[in-house]
Structures are given as structure tokens and as C-alpha cells.
Chain A
Amino acid sequence: MADTRAHGSTAVATGGDTATAPALLQIEDLTSSYGAVRALDGVSLTADAGRITAVLGANGAGKTTLLRTVSGLVRASSGRVTLAGEDITTASVESMVGRGMAHVPEGRGVISELTVHENLRVGALFRGKVEKSEYDRIYDLFPRIAERRDQPAHVLSGGERQMLVIGRALLAQPRILLLDEPSLGLAPRIVAQIFGLLRRLVDSEGLSVLLVEQNARSALSVADVGVVLNLGRVVVTDSARTLMADEDLRHAYLGF
């Protein structure tokens, strides 16, 4: 883990191209279907250590299916997924978090019947005993949920829910965080706050993020690399800056 962090920060600091950075998560020619509908059609991409990789595209482009296939919720019909060199294509969903991959699903995934603190504790269950200081650190990152720690999670606002699930995922001490539409339904100010925090965690702690977003403008403003999906295929992969500058591409696929 320490290695990855070191590599990650070096890569960011030097701003080197993607080829030299170690591929933390590698997705090769991934195909999967929901019933008769082929949702992913040979998708290949890499998420490098210490980077934010944004997967963009319209509704139905296959973004959510991509994350669900990577974490095993949907079985891949072909292709390969490797995490730090280890093949995890057929690994169980429950084992992913132990391998260093935390997936925050679409729609926040707060367990509303549990309290805020219990929700956090679930995130650390697989690790056994966890120091109190680790919870304190999450509450320091998100003071708004700290105020509500003993309340049932259903009282939280949309932004607080997003903070809770990201905090819960961080308690798993992942090497890579998979985030599915974290900006959905949130006020722009809250989105900026959450994305800003992600950037800080990536830059200062070597976290890596695979971010799926329909809100391409916000996502590209925080990401290092962008991957544009359309109808289950990768249209283009490039640095976020280049994608941002490509007006035709933005109009055609990103809606801004």
C-alpha cells in the first residue's frame, strides 16, 4: 500500500503521461449484458494509482454497468479485470473491499435504518477492530455528519448521505474508490465541496478514484483522465484538460 501511494504521488507531481504510471485497475475488453441487452461491449481502460479517472457519457452509455461488472455485482461475459496485477474478474463481490477496492453504488447506498455511526462501522466490519481515531478522522473530514452521528441515517440530506457513504468507503482503507454518480441530485456547491475533498485525498494520501459521472463538466474539472463511453463502447480516452478543450466531443457526447 505504501508503495502505491509513493508511485501515485510521484506520477501526479511530475504530471507524467498515463503510460508510465502503474495501472492500479486494468479493465480489458470487458463485455457484459443485462438479459438480452449488451450493456458493455468490449470496454478497455485503466485507472492509475494516485489519479482520478472519470468515466463520462450519457444515460445508458454503460457507466453504472461498468462499475457493477468490475465489482462483481454483474458477471462479465468476457474480458478481464485486474487490480494491482491480480485477476479479479471472477472474484466474489464480498472479497473486493478486502482487496482494496471500495465501490460506492449509485443512489448513495446509505442504510437508512441504521444510525450514521453504525453506517460507518459497517464499512470497517471486515477489518475487525478499528481504532476510534479512524472514525474521528472521517468525522473531521465531514463535520456535518459528525453532528448527526447518533441519528438514524434517514434524516440526512442528499449531500450528507454522499459524505457518509464516501466516509464509510474510506474507512475500508481502499487503494481505489469507485464512485457512481456522486453528484446526482446535489447542489453545485455541495458537488464542488465533495470533489474538492476527493482531489485533496488523492493528492495528499495517494487515494485513487474511478469516478462515473453524467455531470461531465464537474467531473472533468477534478479528474486527471477522462474516458468517454457511448452505447457500451469507449469513444475516446484522454487527459481531462484535452477533453475539456474539445468542443465537438463535448457537444456530441458530454452535453455541454
Chain B
Amino acid sequence: MQYFVNVTLTGLTEGMVYSAFALALVLIWRSTRIVNFAQGSMAAATTFIALALIQAGQSYWVALIVALLSGLLLGAIIERVVIRPVEGGPELNAVIVTLGLFVAIQAAIAIVFGSAFQSFPTPFGLEGFQVGDNRIALTPNSVWVIAAVLVTMALLVVLFRFTRIGLAMRASAFGQEVARLLGVRVGRMLTLGWALAAVVGSLAGLLIAGGEFVYPAYMDSLIVFGFVAAVLGGLDSPIGAIVGGLILGLALSYVSGYVERGSALVNVAALVILMVVLLVRPGGLFASSTARRA
């Protein structure tokens, strides 16, 4: 029982990070119909900025804030400079551009920060909490991870549901031409969408890096998991991305906890889950495709 609880807790914590990363992919997909394969590299870049600050003696929190702000800037610049020229062209063009960015940013990280493995600190301990006689797999750091993701999501909900700029962003995402005719500056909204997505992606990168080794390609597996989580949820649905991330986190944790040599099977398991869901519900768990067609 205790083992089950621990495996579940680990899965939830990991799942939260997948959710955040999936959410970043969904934000961009929704507004621009582009799967941003560079999301992982962008997050890695901001994580390395944070690491450089920490190594220079800054506190974790200063580094976190600077990294998130760099994410904001990076997302905006990439949308304006690299994505804008290929928007409206064949969809494959934009995908190829993000794949190119994925490689280019990783190379840039290696050039600036080196490709050695470096350990990334956590702001809180990695010792599990004591419950009765047992230590559970919930650590102060995992509480921070879960809280950080939940707060970010709550802020996004407030932004999209209750503010005028959020309404303008949703209008731009779902009805570009109509939004322009109604005076919404759609271009700015798309830039803002990319910037926000990059912040959320950066947060996922920073959280997953805590207590681990980082190197230019350390986000690669998270891209796969985040993408699977986003597709599970239906790619169009922020709620779907969050639920998809949690399902994936739990499932992968059970695979690696209960299946013999399971940890080696995690990547395969992710793809199996993806295939099963897509066979049963081709549009993902939270598909809004029926609504969209109407």
C-alpha cells in the first residue's frame, strides 16, 4: 500500500510538469496551429540562464524570475522574427522551422554554456515527508513543483476567462479574420501567446531540472512526454493538456514502479498509451472537434 502511494505521488509530481509543458504546446497550437518542437530547447535555454545566475551567486528565486522573463522575451522574439514570416504559408513550413529552431537553440546552448552535465539545485529539500514511521515520496520540492504549476494554471485561467486581453487572445486564436475586423490587434495577441507559452514551458523546464543534471538536450524526453500529454487531451484543450499530463505521469510511474525493468520501458509505454487513446478517441480525450465543425 505504502509503495502504491509513493508510486502515485511520484507520478502526480511528474505529471504536473508534463501538464505544464503540454499546456505550453497547446497555447501555441490553439492560436497558430503550429506544433512548437522548439519548446524544449527554449526551456533548456532559460534553465541554463537560471543556472548561470545561481552559479554566479544569485538566489534560486532571482534566477527563476529572470529565467521566466527571458522565456517571455524569447517566445516573443521567436514569434516575431522566425515564425511570423512563415505564418499563413503551408503548415509544414512552420513545423520545419520549429524543428530547425530546436536544433539551433540546443547548439547555441552548447556553445554558450558548454555541453557538460551540470547539477541544477532545488529551492526545497528532496527528503520525503515523515508520515508516522514511514517516509513518503512526497518531498518539499514536489510540493513546490505542484504548487508552482497549479498557481501558473490558475493565473492563466484568470487571464483567459476574466480579462479583456485574455478575451482578445481567445478571439484571435479562434477567429483571426473576424477579430481583426473587430479591431483586435491579432498580431500582437499571437506574439503574446507565444511569449506566455514560452514562460509556461520554461517553468516546466526549471521544475524538471531541479535536483537533476542538465545538459543542452536534457529536455528532449520531456518534449515527447509533453507532446503525448497534449495529444491525449486533444491538443486544443488546456484542461485536456492538464489531465493528459497527469494521466501520463501516473501511468508512466506505475509502469516503472510495477513492471520488471519498467524504467527502461517508460518511453515505449508513453507511445503505447498514445496509440491506445488515439484508437479509441481519435480526437483526444477532450476533443472539441465537434464544436469546431459546427
Contacts and interface: CB of A to CB of B under 8 A. Distances in A.
Interface stretch (B44-52, B164-172, B262-270): B164-172
A121 interface: yes
Interface in B147-184: 164, 167-168, 170-171, 174-175, 177-184
B182 A105 contact: no
Interface string A98-112: 100011110001011
Nearest to A165: B178
Interface stretch (B9-17, B67-75, B133-141, B286-294): B286-294
B183 A111 contact: no
A73 B288 CA distance: 29
Interface of B: 164, 167-168, 170-171, 174-175, 177-186, 288, 291-292, 294
Given A114-B170, A114-B174, A125-B168, A109 B292 contact: no
A95 B291 CA distance: 31
Given A109-B178, A111-B174, A111-B175, A125 B291 contact: no
A240 interface: no
Given A111-B171, A112-B291, A113-B170, A94 B177 contact: no
A125 B167 contact: yes
Interface in A173-227: none
Given A125-B167, A125-B168, A154 B294 contact: yes
Contact of A122 (B184, B288, B291, B292): B184
11 contacts: A96-B183, A97-B183, A98-B183, A111-B175, A114-B171, A122-B168, A125-B171, A126-B182, A126-B183, A152-B291, A172-B183
A111, A126, A154: most-surrounded residue (chain B CB, <10 A): A111
Contacts of B174: 111-114
A34 B177 CA distance: 17
Contacts of B288: 113
A122 B294 contact: no
A121 B162 CA distance: 12
Nearest to A101: B181
A94 B186 CA distance: 8
Given A121-B167, A122-B167, A122-B179, A94 B185 contact: yes
A28 interface: no
Contact of B181 (A105, A113, A152, A154): A105
A123 B182 contact: yes
A98 B182 CA distance: 9
Nearest to A127: B183
B238 to A, nearest CB: 12
Contact of B180 (A93, A104, A112): A93
Find the residue from B175, B185, B288, B291 having the highest chain A CB count within 10 A.
B175
B67 to A, nearest CB: 32
Contacts of B170: 111, 113-114, 118
A71 interface: yes
A59 to B, nearest CB: 21
A71 B180 CA distance: 10
B157 to A, nearest CB: 15
A241 B186 CA distance: 42
A168 interface: yes
A126 B168 CA distance: 10
A109 B182 CA distance: 11
A134 to B, nearest CB: 15
Nearest to B188: A94
Given A112-B292, A122-B168, A126-B183, 14 more contacts: A73-B180, A97-B181, A97-B182, A102-B181, A102-B182, A111-B170, A111-B179, A113-B170, A113-B174, A113-B291, A114-B170, A122-B167, A125-B182, A152-B291
A73 B183 contact: no
A105 B178 contact: yes
Given A122-B168, A122-B171, A125-B164, A112 B294 contact: yes
A65 B184 CA distance: 22
A236 to B, nearest CB: 29
B172 to A, nearest CB: 10
A118 B291 CA distance: 16
A18 B131 CA distance: 86
Nearest to B186: A94
B188 to A, nearest CB: 10
Of B171, B185, B288, most buried by chain A (CB within 10 Å of CB) is B171
